[in-house]
Structure 1
Amino acid sequence: MAKTLYDYWFVQFDFPNANGKPYKSNGGKMVWNEVVKREIPISWEVRKISQIAKTGSGGTPKSTEKDYYENGDIPWVNSGELNNSFIISTNNFITEVGMKNSSAKLFPRNTILMAMYGATAGKTSIISFEATTNQAICAVMPLEKEMFHYTKFVLDDMYRYLINLSTGSARDNLSQDKIRELNIIVPNNFVLNQHSKMTIKYFDKIRNNLQQNQQLSSLRDWLLPMLMNGQVKVE
């Protein structure tokens, strides 16, 4: 439902106009933008990712140093985990010492992560907890909270473009600099605010469902062996 809303408002440009009618379908004024090579609503702009968000990348503590990993309690996300749109937990952790002695950085909850190379290059995920990442991930943190959900969908829509940035396999060619230079259409504040208010409930629902599924899976894994060996019975 969230993706359908995004497509309707920001791909077809049929967001509600001042009278609550679909903008473009009801004659909303469009202007040609030379940067993105298409028409966009008259009051909208085109900006680079670097103008609307902070970015960063992570690092991998030296694997031969046990102190960097043993009893670690700082979540550490690798690019293989970005196949999921939301990351609600990770099995990988590093220590404070490991983070200080590597390029790993702690990114805040609700950061957008994009894989820069490997099998998941171009994929994006949202972390629902503070976490560090490996160096194959670019963290994108919109400067305005109203841009958060919109930016996630924009980057998802760019997936095919991102893996074809250069000749051959572009999966090995993404970088933080290239991501920062991406041009995106930026709606006016009113439309952004309305979209954010409507979309957040869908994102919260997805996140809550994933967390409940994880809890139920843990309960199943705990209960099933006891059922099999007769420790508990179903009356």
Structure 2
Amino acid sequence: MARQLYDYWFVQFDFPDENGKPYKSSGGKMVWNEKIKREIPEGWDCMNIGNYAQCKGGYAFKSKDFGNEGLPVIKIGNIHEDYTLSMADCLKVTGLYNHQFTTNKYDLVIAMTGATIGKFAISPSKYWVNQRVGRFDLGDRPLERLGYLFNSLKQQYFRKQVFQIAGGCAQPNISNDQIDSILILKPTDILLDKYNKTCMPLLRLLIKNILEIELLIEKRDTLLPLLMNGQVSVMPSEVNCDLAAYFVILG
């Protein structure tokens, strides 16, 4: 729904006008924007991504920093095409207190090098950000501003810009400053706020589902080896107990 609404409002420009009618289809005035070489609604402009949410680079962790405890570290390989993070079996870091290199829940991270360049994902929790991963700074309440940026980055022109910038290197590579310089549309503040508020419950539900899946995967990975070597058995389904009690450690 959020992506379809983005297409209606910010691609086709058929957002509701002052009479509740689709703007462009109802004859709303369009003006030429020289920066992006196209017509946009009157009163709109374009802006650098960095003016909406600055992209900040991650930390160059050393091998000695990694361990089995602490916060997980997002590396470029953790970022998937479906805009999610896969943090299973990831390395962790403890003892570093520079929160400039951590994500908040609902922050957006992006791969800045290699085959994964331009892929981005929503962070469902607090993580460290590794070198060559960028974090978009959406402020203290990222969910309130996430919707517009998230769906702007899904547009084909964004990946095209990333590949054009990175294309001159043997190893595809883009800096946070170069990401900040990419242009996106700047609608009116009222419309931008309305769109972000529409996206909030959908994004909240998305992250809730992701966290539940992560928990189930963690439980599966813990219990499966125990089941296979006979340390755990499954109680009959007719036993009246909750899910957590289905598994009995034989000892």
Report the TM-score when normalising by structure 2. 0.79
Q: Output one character per residue of 1:130-169: Cα deviation in whole Å (capped at 9) or x when no partner.
A: 2221111111123585542111211221113311335556
Q: Which residues in structure 2 correspond to 1:102-113 (within 5 Å)?
A: 105-113=101-109
C-alpha contact 2:109 2:134 (8 A) present in aligned 1: yes
Secondary structure at the aligned position of 2:108 is classed as strand
C-alpha contact 1:80 1:119 (8 A) present in aligned 2: no
Task: Supply the AA of the counterpart residue of 1:150.
Answer: Y
Secondary structure at the aligned position of 2:233 is classed as coil
C-alpha contact 1:72 1:96 (8 A) present in aligned 2: no
C-alpha contact 1:88 1:211 (8 A) present in aligned 2: no
**In 2, Cα distance between the equivalents of 1:74 and 1:13?**
42
**In 1, Cα distance between the equivalents of 2:56 and 2:31?**
34
Secondary structure at the aligned position of 2:69 is classed as coil
C-alpha contact 2:124 2:210 (8 A) present in aligned 1: no
Deviates more, 1:24-33 or 1:165-174: 165-174
Deviates more, 1:221-230 or 1:190-199: 221-230
Secondary structure at the aligned position of 2:103 is classed as coil
Q: Which residues in structure 2 correspond to 1:7-86 (within 5 Å)?
A: 7-63=7-63, 65=64, 68-83=65-80, 84-86=82-84
Distance apart, 1:42 and its partner CA: 0.8
Distance apart, 1:185 and its partner CA: 0.8
Deviates more, 1:19-28 or 1:221-230: 221-230
C-alpha contact 1:74 1:96 (8 A) present in aligned 2: no
Distance apart, 1:113 and its partner CA: 1.0
Distance apart, 1:214 and its partner CA: 2.6
Task: Supply the AA of the counterpart residue of 1:85.
Answer: Y
**In 1, Cα distance between the equivalents of 2:161 and 2:171?**
11
Q: Output one character per residue of 1:85-133: Cα deviation in whole Å (capped at 9) or x when no partner.
A: 1338563211224x66xx9722322221111111110111111222221
**In 1, Cα distance between the equivalents of 2:174 and 2:62?**
24
**In 2, Cα distance between the equivalents of 1:14 and 1:170?**
42
Task: Supply the AA of the counterpart residue of 1:19.
Answer: N
Q: Which runs of 5+ in 1 are unaligned?
A: none
Q: Output one character per residue of 1:168-216: Cα deviation in whole Å (capped at 9) or x when no partner.
A: 5686131112111111111111111111121112112211222222333
**In 2, Cα distance between the equivalents of 1:31 and 1:113?**
33
Distance apart, 1:25 and its partner CA: 0.9
Query: What residue in structure 2 maps to residue 179 of structure 1?
Result: 179
**In 1, Cα distance between the equivalents of 2:78 and 2:106?**
16
C-alpha contact 1:55 1:141 (8 A) present in aligned 2: yes
Q: Output one character per residue of 1:13-71: Cα deviation in whole Å (capped at 9) or x when no partner.
A: 111112222111111111110001111111112111222223311123221x2xx2235
Task: Supply the AA of the counterpart residue of 2:236.
Answer: V
C-alpha contact 2:67 2:91 (8 A) present in aligned 1: no
Task: Supply the AA of the counterpart residue of 1:76.
Answer: V
Task: Supply the AA of the counterpart residue of 2:151.
Answer: F
Query: What do you get for the CA RMSD once the two structures are aligned?
Result: 2.7
Report the TM-score when normalising by structure 1. 0.84
**In 2, Cα distance between the equivalents of 1:201 and 1:214?**
20
**In 1, Cα distance between the equivalents of 2:11 and 2:126?**
32
Q: Which runs of 5+ in 2 are unaligned?
A: 238-251
Deviates more, 1:19-28 or 1:139-148: 139-148
Secondary structure at the aligned position of 1:46 is classed as strand
**In 2, Cα distance between the equivalents of 1:47 and 1:93?**
36
Query: What residue in structure 2 maps to residue 210 of structure 1?
Result: 210
Secondary structure at the aligned position of 1:110 is classed as coil
Q: Which residues in structure 2 correspond to 1:120-139 (within 5 Å)?
A: 120-139=116-135
Secondary structure at the aligned position of 2:101 is classed as coil
Larger Rg: 2
